[in-house]
Chain A
Amino acid sequence: MNELILFFRKNSKWFVFGFFVVLSCTMLFNSNPYHQHLYLTSAGRAVSSVYKSGSMLSSYLNLRSINEDLNRRNAELQAEIAAQNELISTFRELGYTDTLVADSGVRHFDFIVAHVINNSIARPFNYITINKGSKAGVRPELGVIDQNGVVGIVSNVGSGSARVISLLNPNFRLSCKIKRSDYFGSLVWDGKDPREALLEELPRHTVFNPGDTIVTSGYSAVFPEGLPVGVIMPDNNEHNENFFTLRVRLLADFTTLGNVQVVVNNYRAELDSLSAGEAEEAKRKPFGN
Chain B
Amino acid sequence: MNQFAIRFTIAYLLLIPLQALVFDHMVLFNVAVPFVFIYLIVMLPVTLGTNVSVVLGFLAGLGMDMFADTPGMNSLSCTILAFARKPLFHLYTTMDDDLAGRSPSAQTMGSASFLKYVLTLSLCYSVLVFTIEAFQLFIPELLLTRIVASTLYTFLLIYTLDSLLIRRREKRL
Stretch at the interface among B47-55, B107-115, B154-162: B47-55
B54 touches A16 (CB 8 A): yes
With A23-B58, A118-B20, A124-B137 as known contacts, state yes or no: A163 contacts B30, CB within 8 Å: no
Q: How far is the CB of A201 from chain B (nearest CB, A)?
A: 19
Is B45 among interface residues, defined by CB-CB distance under 8 A? Answer: no
Q: How far is the CB of B140 from chain A (nearest CB, A)?
A: 12
Q: Which residues of A contact B58 (CB under 8 A)?
A: 20, 23-24
Is B133 among interface residues, defined by CB-CB distance under 8 A? Answer: yes
Is A50 among interface residues, defined by CB-CB distance under 8 A? Answer: yes
Q: Which residues of A contact B65 (CB under 8 A)?
A: 27, 40
Is B24 among interface residues, defined by CB-CB distance under 8 A? Answer: yes
- For B, the interface residue count at a CB cutoff of 8 angstroms equals 35
Q: Which residues of A contact B80 (CB under 8 A)?
A: 21
Q: Which residues of B contact A123 (CB under 8 A)?
A: 68, 70, 133
- For A, the interface residue count at a CB cutoff of 8 angstroms equals 40
Q: Among residues 65 to 81 in chain B, which have CB atoms less than 8 Å away from a CB atom of chain A? A: 65-73, 75-76, 79-80
B71 touches A194 (CB 8 A): no
Is B139 among interface residues, defined by CB-CB distance under 8 A? Answer: yes
B72 touches A26 (CB 8 A): yes
A125 touches B136 (CB 8 A): yes
Is A2 among interface residues, defined by CB-CB distance under 8 A? Answer: no
With A16-B51, A192-B142, A194-B30 as known contacts, state yes or no: A41 contacts B72, CB within 8 Å: no
Is A78 among interface residues, defined by CB-CB distance under 8 A? Answer: no
Is B11 among interface residues, defined by CB-CB distance under 8 A? Answer: no
Q: Which residues of A contact B24 (CB under 8 A)?
A: 120, 122
Q: Which residues of B contact A26 (CB under 8 A)?
A: 72
Q: How far is the CB of B1 from chain A (nearest CB, A)?
A: 18
Pick the contact of A50: B17, B68, B132 (CB < 8 A). Answer: B17
A21 touches B67 (CB 8 A): no
Is A17 among interface residues, defined by CB-CB distance under 8 A? Answer: yes
Residue of A16, A24, A123 with most chain B CB atoms under a 10 A cut-off: A24
CA distance A39 to B69 in the complex (A): 10
B71 touches A30 (CB 8 A): yes
CA distance A44 to B55 in the complex (A): 22
Q: Which residues of B contact A192 (CB under 8 A)?
A: 139, 142
A47 touches B79 (CB 8 A): no
What 1/0 mask marks residues of chain A from 22 to 43 whose CB sits below 8 Å from any chain B CB? 0111111111000010011110
What 1/0 mask marks residues of chain B from 18 to 57 whose CB sits below 8 Å from any chain A CB? 0011001001001001000000000000000111001101
B139 touches A127 (CB 8 A): no
Q: Which residues of A contact B75 (CB under 8 A)?
A: 20, 23-24, 27-28
What 1/0 mask marks residues of chain A from 120 to 138 whose CB sits below 8 Å from any chain B CB? 1111110101000000000
With A39-B66, A122-B27, A123-B133 as known contacts, state yes or no: A50 contacts B21, CB within 8 Å: yes
What 1/0 mask marks residues of chain A from 3 to 29 whose CB sits below 8 Å from any chain B CB? 000000000110011001101111111
CA distance A8 to B30 in the complex (A): 45
Q: Which residues of B contact A41 (CB under 8 A)?
A: 66, 69, 71
Is A191 among interface residues, defined by CB-CB distance under 8 A? Answer: yes
Closest CB pairs A-B (n = 8): A28-B72, A27-B72, A24-B76, A124-B137, A127-B69, A13-B50, A24-B75, A54-B21
13 contacts between A and B (CB under 8 A): A13-B49, A13-B54, A13-B83, A27-B75, A40-B71, A50-B17, A51-B20, A51-B21, A54-B20, A120-B68, A123-B68, A163-B69, A191-B139
Q: Which residues of B contact A (CB under 8 A)?
A: 17, 20-21, 24, 27, 30, 33, 49-51, 54-55, 57-58, 61, 65-73, 75-76, 79-80, 83, 132-133, 136-137, 139, 142
| Other A-B pairs, 4, CB within 8 Å; known A13-B83, A40-B65, A50-B67 | A13-B51, A27-B71, A42-B67, A42-B69
